[in-house]
Chains A and B, each alone.
Chain A
Amino acid sequence: MSYAARFSLSLGRLAAAVFLSLVFTTLLLLVSGAPPLHTFAILFAGGIGSVAKLGQTIAVWIPLVLCSSALLLTFAPGLWNIGIEGQIILGAIFATGFLRPFPAGASPLVLAGALIAGMIGGAFWAYIAGVLRTWGRVHEIFGGLGLNFVALGLTLWLIFGPWRRPGVASMSGTEPLHPSLWLKGIKGFSLSPVSLVLALLAIFLVIYLLRSTRWGLSLKAVGQNPEAALLYGLKPNKRIVEAMALCGALAGLAGALQVVGVYHRLLPAISSNYGYTALLVTMLASFRPNLIPPICFFFAVLNVGSIQLPLQLKLDSSLSGVIQGVLVLSIFLVHGLEERWQLLRRQK
């Protein structure tokens, strides 16, 4: 199939999935007695209704894009890097640790160092999952899930223990960073241009690596046929660990940005579940890089807009999560129906 044909097929599936989930959500709203059209309007206005809101939406889009494009690297060799959540957390921990010696502030150079520290932290955590998979024969889903719990445990221990606020024992978070160590946004706009540039660089880097390098090609070969890849000397195990580490580095960057750009401290919920959301995004995009930015944008609008549901309609904001989940289920359903239909056609 040609590129354009495959692309429009993905798009067609996506459209069908969007339609299915809209039908489902509308039914849900009707059952709960909320006016569907009005609800959708408020939800979307909450995400893009003003310049400030658009800024918030893009601030959510950034970590989502970082993580989703990172996941393209691990999906290429067929890895389910569910441990991305923990890799974000480790990035946040490393960045916080890097900034702790500067309670009175420091230069932007230190801030850059914190971002790099975050990338190292994420890469380190993903490397462990990769080695567990290739050397320890632990499937990356189980290894990743385990490491996610360890990462959360580590955060809790740091917040409650060595990094606690003086005289306070609370799970709430560490002491806020000195304002000179905040990655600040443009005035009146909760969005840092630095983060935006980094996210754009990340997606372009991933597209370049996967489409235009030998390394990217060998990753895909490993994903499609590990035995053959081994015979051709593509070193599948090495590729897997590399893909994991690079994915972890981008996730770690997202975590570091959460610390310096969003919360300005380390807290238990620092990852904001963006890792899991990114897994949904990547599946919904059928692993196509082109679809990552728009789907991330759509998810970010839902995330930011969901605040308006309790604020204006007294509805629970988890509706946005329901829409996201149903979307992913729908795309699998569409895939499944397609296969069924083809099977039926062949039998005739």
Chain B
Amino acid sequence: MFPRILRLGIVFLLVLAVGCAEKPEEKSFIFGMLMVGPFNDRGWSQAHYDAGLYVESKLPGVKMLYLDKVNPADRPGLTLPQVVDDLVSKGARLIIANSDDMKDGIREAAKQHPDITFIHVSGDDVLTKKAPPNLSNVMGRMEYGKMMAGFVAALTTKTGKIGYLGPLINEETRRLASSSFLGAAYAWQQVRKRPLDELKFKVSWIGFWFNIPGVTADPTQVANRFFDGGYDVVISGIDTTEALVVATQKRKAGREVWAIPYDYKGACQGADEVCLGVPYFNWGPAYLTSVKAVRDGTWKQTWEWNGPDWNDINNEDTSGVGFLNGPALSTEVAAKLDSFVQGLATGKINVFQGPIFYQDGTPFLVAGETASDQKVWYMPQLLKGMEGASGPK
């Protein structure tokens, strides 16, 4: 029948037009990078992208293949194992998945490709023993960066009200919001010498790592509500820079407000009037180590939680996380931040020291107790003194 022949014909022509299947390049070492947001989001994903470029620049012959916006809203129909298949067929030997949201997908893909090495950023599959042997976890100890953010926020605020623009609620985000609060509480009580109940610290969650119109709460609106409600410093916990943008708009309208972005070293750029500084991830060193190890056949499964290099928290070759002062940070507060960082470095200051209570009043740390890694990683609630939801209602 005519139509059937035609159907076959179309398929045949398409196959013919294409000719050959792709061949993986063999000369160099290739690693793949899967990013949940746009590679140039000036936030979470760009920090990873830049780390990939860093690895390329340090190791000649190593090439990064990347795909950004890897999430079902931006790429309908795409699943993680599919993209991984594609990267592997293009020669990738190591694949880095940069989102909490990829946890299940990357585990599935790792099981399908036992000869390829995988890194799931921010996950805990290695801790929970769910990980196949070819899957590692990497995360930065952003708690420190967030403490510094909270610290400068509390020293800068004039209204005594700090807003935290939160993404979704899970262990990671509770831990980071709480670290900001503890940093702020330290500054408020120890430096400004004021009672803690005079400091308002409110967390508002949008429901995902970045804005998905119609699905999440709109971070621009949330930031606006903070500023309009008298919160004059907003700390961002999401992947993108809405808090900074809204703060800049408010400044132009004559309001005295500030914001603290997140994730990406260059986030303050272009927001000179409002940016107090940015706690950021520096994934470069960790990725460099992993790429070398996989290339040389010495890779071992690990669960890494990389801290700052206390000699210089902004050293791009050694420090896992950092805090870059922003143009709007006063010299006075900057000086106090320096001594705070010094205190953290020497261990003289530990904001995770009891007594600290959970939001419902039960003890998180008893008097004198300091928190173990495990206890910080798996925080089930926000802390007493913080306003906002600890979990799903």
Q: Mark B67-93, 1 if CB is under 8 A from A, else 0.
A: 111001101111101110110011000
Q: Mark A168-180, 1 if CB is under 8 A from B, else 0.
A: 1111110010000
| Residue on B nearest A37 in the bound complex, by CB | B17
* Residues of chain A lying within 8 A (CB to CB) of residue B66: 311
| Residue on B nearest A289 in the bound complex, by CB | B3
Min C-beta distance of B41 to chain A, whole Å:
14
Pair B10/A49 contact, Cβ less than 8 Å: no
Q: Mark A129-160, 1 if CB is under 8 A from B, else 0.
A: 00000000000000000000000100010001
- Count how many pairs of residues, one from A and one from B, have CB atoms less than 8 Å apart in the complex: 126
Is B22 part of the contact surface with A, judged by Cβ < 8 Å?
A: yes
Known: A48-B15, A160-B392, A172-B101. A269 touches B22 (CB 8 A): no
Pair A171/B216 contact, Cβ less than 8 Å: yes
- 8 Å CB interface, A333-347 against B: none
Is B168 part of the contact surface with A, judged by Cβ < 8 Å?
A: yes
Pair A169/B76 contact, Cβ less than 8 Å: no
* Residues of chain A lying within 8 A (CB to CB) of residue B380: 167
Pair B86/A307 contact, Cβ less than 8 Å: yes
Known: A48-B14, A298-B10. A169 touches B392 (CB 8 A): yes
* Residues of chain B lying within 8 A (CB to CB) of residue A252: none
Interchain CA distance A45-B75 in the complex, whole Å: 18
Pair A161/B392 contact, Cβ less than 8 Å: yes
Is A216 part of the contact surface with B, judged by Cβ < 8 Å?
A: no
Pair A269/B78 contact, Cβ less than 8 Å: no
Is A273 part of the contact surface with B, judged by Cβ < 8 Å?
A: yes
| Residue on B nearest A189 in the bound complex, by CB | B85
**Contact residues on B (Cβ < 8 Å of other chain), bracket:** 35 or more
Partner of A307, one of B6, B18, B75, B170: B75
| Residue on A nearest B83 in the bound complex, by CB | A307
- 8 Å CB interface, B300-327 against A: none
Pair B76/A269 contact, Cβ less than 8 Å: yes
* Residues of chain B lying within 8 A (CB to CB) of residue A301: 14
Is B337 part of the contact surface with A, judged by Cβ < 8 Å?
A: no
* Residues of chain A lying within 8 A (CB to CB) of residue B22: 45, 49-50
Interchain CA distance A268-B208 in the complex, whole Å: 12
Partner of B207, one of A169, A271, A291, A310: A169
Pair B170/A60 contact, Cβ less than 8 Å: no
| Residue on B nearest A268 in the bound complex, by CB | B215
* Residues of chain A lying within 8 A (CB to CB) of residue B11: 294, 297
* Residues of chain B lying within 8 A (CB to CB) of residue A160: 207, 392
Partner of A152, one of B68, B101, B171, B214: B214
Min C-beta distance of B125 to chain A, whole Å:
13
Is B7 part of the contact surface with A, judged by Cβ < 8 Å?
A: yes
14 examples of A-B residue contacts, CB within 8 angstroms: A44-B18, A45-B18, A49-B21, A50-B22, A152-B214, A167-B170, A167-B392, A262-B79, A269-B72, A271-B76, A301-B14, A307-B75, A307-B86, A311-B65
| Supplied contacts A4-B2, A190-B82, A311-B90, 6 more A-B pairs, CB within 8 Å | A50-B89, A156-B215, A169-B207, A169-B391, A190-B81, A270-B72
